[in-house]
Every structure is written in C-alpha cells, then in structure tokens.
Amino acid sequence: MDTSLPHISVGLLGLGTVGSEVARLLRDEALIAERSGVRITLAKVAVAHPGRGRPGVPPGALTGDPWEVVTSPGVDVVVELIGGIEPARSLALRALELGKPVVTANKQLLAEHGPELFERANRSGADVRFEGSVGGGIPLVRAIREALTAARIHSITGILNGTTNYVLTRMAQEGWSFADALAAARREGFTEADPSDDIEGHDAAAKLAILASAAFGCRVTSGDVFREGIAAITPRDMAYARELGFAIKLLAIGRLRDGEVEARVHPALIPLAHPLAQVADEFNALEVEADGLGPVVLSGRGAGGPPTAVAVVGDIIDVARRRALGGRGFADPFRLLPRRIRPIDDIVLPFYLNLQVTDRPGVFARVATVFGEERVSIASIVQKSRGEVAEVVLVTHDAPERSVRRVLARLRELDVVKTVSSVIRVEATV
C-alpha cells in the first residue's frame, strides 16, 4: 500500500449486521486505498460489550463508551450504526460540533431529525452522509442529491420496503393470503421479530421522508407522510387487479404539485407494464421523474448487511477524500424551502373499490347514484354474482380523496351494501 497517501481514521458506533460488514470492508485497506486514493483505518469501535472481543477488530480499538469514539482526537470521521433516536442523535450532533463528518444508515434519525443535523453540519462545515439509510446498495440518495441536482424533480415513486414487497409478490404469484405470505417472509428471514414497522408502512414512510426532503428541498418528516399498511389486501384484490391490468404494490410516493408536497405510503394498483410492477420479491426500486429527463429507475436489493455496508463505506470514502484534500469541510446544502404538505383529503387519484351487495335488480343503480351525487365518476364497473350477494369491482376516474370518503360513508349506509371490503388507490401513470 502507498503510505504516502493521506490518512483518515474512522470511529464506528455499533457493530451489528451492518457495522460488522463495514468493519470487514474497511479491513481491506489496500483495496480501499487503491480505489479512493486515501488510506482509511478503523481506529475505534463502540460496542455494548467490549470485553467479548470481535473477530477482525483489534482489541485495543474496542470500547464500551460511544462518547469516547466521538470525542477522541484520533477519530476523524464518525460512522453511526447504532440506530434509533437516542443516543444516536446526541452523538451525531456532538461529532458535527467537533467538525467531524458523520456517516449514518439511521433512517429514523434522518427522517425525524434530519434538519437539525444538517443545520449543525452547516455551522461547523462538516458533512452528514446517509446513503445507507435508504435502499441498501442502490444509490438513491446520491442520485437525487448529486446526479440530478440540476434537474427539477417533480415526482419520486418507490418500492422502499423489501418485506412488504416480498409478501405482496407471494400473494400475487401464489394466490396466498396475507397471513400465509407473511409467514413465508418470516421463514425466509425477511421480517423483524415484530413485523409491524414494515407491514404498517412506518419503514417506507421514514425512507420516503428522507428522499422527499432531498428531492423537493423541504422538510418532510415521518409524521408528515400519510401511511396505510398492506394487511387489508386480499388474494381476491390481487386477482381482480390483475384482471384489470394492474399489480398491487406498497408504494412510497412523493410529488411536487403547485409548490405543495404530496407524501404518502399506501398499497396502490399500478399498471402491469409499469417498471415498478415488475419489481418482485424483496427488491426495492425508485422511479424519479424530472423536467426534461424522462423517468429514471434504480433498483436492487434494498436492505441487508452487505448492500447497506457498501453504501456506508461509499459515503466514508467520499468524506475521507474530501477531508484528506484540505480546504474546509462541506455541508451539502439541504434546502429547506417552506413547502406545505398537502393533506391526504386534497389528493386526487383514481380508486379501486370492492363492494359486496345484495344480488337483486336496482342495486347497481343505487350504488351508481351515490357516486354521481358526490361527483365521483366511474371508469369501469364489474358485477360478479356469488350466490346471495354480488361482488361489485369498481374503478373510478380521478377523484379527490375527500369525495371518495363521502361516497364510502354513504355506501355503508345503504341497506343493499353488505360491506365495502377494499378501497385501494390507483397510480395510473405508466
């Protein structure tokens, strides 16, 4: 190895799935030096039980105290892989105060406290990098923040959670129920012990908040994202959707419309020919649309230790290079334009509905009248007799969510409507 190269020391917080893979990649110092032009060494690693020793980490580098890593003069760059809000937030803020760049894969921290970190980074001239927080080894953050800086991005549409995509793929391909598909995901190791973070869309919402903030230059937090999970999707919805030419995916959607931001995570019908309809199993993908650019789609394995570690080390190399060159640090400007988050009620979309109605003459007309009176126009309607009850599958034209809610409330009051079993939004653009 070329010892004349500039040298940067890394302090690592956390040695879990991603952390130990980051440590493993950094061990190949010669490879990293050859590719980056910088010698990068792992100087300190904070773990919960330093006494245990870790294969591949010099015992002298281990400590039980993350603050020691952050404040050590021997650490130039801090890599936060603890996860959660505290103490990760305080540690990152302190590192930035000390002028040390922070690399993190902590989506929750970014999605909830991103602006605080960026503001602190801007003051000290350090840098916050977070490619690993979204999309594993797919360079989503880099594409939005760097490659497409010159483009006016008006839409991002993603499949950002591998667990739910795996579940929906099994339901679509095997005809399984949600519960059976979730059990399969568990067997394959694609779920957390408590899968609700994935299933209810929290994970995707945090990732969308991060990407939408970067794409539209404003503050979007997890709490700003409208969120609906996939537990209510049935195999019958899957089958009808396919009949109509659609797949059902858990989409994370960010749109800039008339200066306002739409940010929502929910199951949606998308045309089978749409590139995102073809993203199967645990894969993730993001479609970015910008003026003059045409759709750009990035896809890959969105999670897991090794892909995320590749993203984290890519960020480490970037900040190490920058630091090694002298000059002051650079906090990428994270624009914070004052944009309103558009409430879900004001969002205009087509809807797919599945109703169970009494199977007798005139029912159809009564249902259609409700839609007409609420000015929600129907694009297609199919009635299937299933004995005593008939099933009505119906897709509307574009309609404001608030109008569809009124339609639903009125339908539920009709004695001929037994149940409204499904209401799923439709993303109709290909």
- Catalytically active residues, by annotation: 207
- Give me the phi and psi of 294, to 5 degrees please: 75, 165
Neighbours of 68 (CB within 10 A): 13
State which of residues 9, 17, 27, 37 lies at the interface with a second copy (CB under 8 A).
37
Cβ of residue 410: shortest distance to a second copy, in angstroms?
A: 42
Cβ of residue 314: shortest distance to a second copy, in angstroms?
A: 5
Helix (H) or strand (E) holding 267: strand 260-271
126 binds a second copy (CB under 8 A): no
Of 419, 418, 416, 421, nearest to 360 by C-alpha is: 416
131 binds a second copy (CB under 8 A): yes
- 138 versus 395: smaller Cβ distance to a second copy: 138
Residues 188-227 that bind a second copy (CB under 8 A): 217
- 161 versus 422: smaller Cβ distance to a second copy: 161
- 252 versus 311: smaller Cβ distance to a second copy: 311
115 binds a second copy (CB under 8 A): no
3-state secondary structure of 22: helix
Of 268, 241, 265, 234, nearest to 394 by C-alpha is: 241
102-104 and 77-80 strand pairing: parallel
Size of the site for a second copy (CB under 8 A): 59
DSSP for 174-217 reads H---HHHHHHHHHHTT-S-SSTHHHHTTHHHHHHHHHHHHHHHT
351-358 and 417-426 strand pairing: antiparallel
The angle subtended at Cα 399 by Cα 358 and Cα 376, nearest 5°, is 45
272 binds a second copy (CB under 8 A): no
- 14 versus 137: smaller Cβ distance to a second copy: 137
What is the CA 223 to chain-centroid distance, rounded? 14
State which of residues 52, 55, 59, 149 lies at the interface with a second copy (CB under 8 A).
149
Cβ of residue 8: shortest distance to a second copy, in angstroms?
A: 14
Residues 346-385 that bind a second copy (CB under 8 A): none
State which of residues 245, 333, 343, 372 lies at the interface with a second copy (CB under 8 A).
333
Neighbours of 373 (CB within 10 A): 11
- Which residue stretch of 107-115, 224-232, 328-336, 389-397 sits at the interface with a second copy (rule: CB under 8 A)? 328-336
Rounded Cα gap, residues 51 and 62, in angstroms: 8
For residue 189, give both structure tokens. 């190791």
- Which residue stretch of 134-142, 226-234, 343-351, 357-365 sits at the interface with a second copy (rule: CB under 8 A)? 134-142
State which of residues 34, 65, 192, 243 lies at the interface with a second copy (CB under 8 A).
34
Helical axes 29-36 vs 17-27, angle rounded to 10°: 80
CB-hemisphere CA count at 13 Å for 376? 28
Size of the chain in residues: 430
Cβ of residue 236: shortest distance to a second copy, in angstroms?
A: 26
Cβ of residue 331: shortest distance to a second copy, in angstroms?
A: 8
For residue 136, give both structure tokens. 């594993």
Cβ of residue 179: shortest distance to a second copy, in angstroms?
A: 27
State which of residues 173, 196, 278, 369 lies at the interface with a second copy (CB under 8 A).
278
- 297 versus 368: smaller Cβ distance to a second copy: 297
Per-residue binding letters, 304-323, with a second copy (x by CB under 8 A): x-xx-xxx-xx-xxx--xx-
Neighbours of 153 (CB within 10 A): 24
Instruction: Give residues in contact with a second copy (CB under 8 A).
Output: 21, 25, 31-32, 34-37, 131, 137-139, 142-143, 146-152, 217, 275, 278, 283, 290-301, 304, 306-307, 309-311, 313-314, 316-318, 321-322, 325-330, 332-333, 335
